[in-house]
Amino acid sequence: MRLLHKAKIKIMEFHVFLMDPWWNPAVEQQAQDRIHRIGQYKPIKMVRFVIENTVEERILKLQEKKLLVFEGTVGGSSDAMGKLTEKDLTFLFGF
């Protein structure tokens, strides 16, 4: 994902295929936002390829945890913090 300019994201008209998940969900969001550029008026379809029981699947779980932490702290969503366990916080913050 970090290597956007090196074709890690394949773009065909209005379809985006995410082939290489990145541990930071903000990087993937930025890639999605680049497709929704100014002047874009057609719907865009994003497809993410993930193989079960691989590191990519664990990266997606890590992304979910990071988004929950963000929503619970920066976003101010108390509901999001309720979904995080003490084990999750230890994993994310290294306490």
pTM for the model stands at 0.52
Helices 86-93 and 55-73, axial angle in degrees (round to 10):
100
Write out the chain's pLDDT in tens, 95 residues: 444 444 455 544 677 788 888 777 888 888 778 777 767 777 888 888 888 888 888 888 888 888 877 776 666 555 655 666 777 667 666 66
Between strands 45-48 and 9-12, the pairing is unpaired
| Predicted local confidence at residue 4, as pLDDT | 46
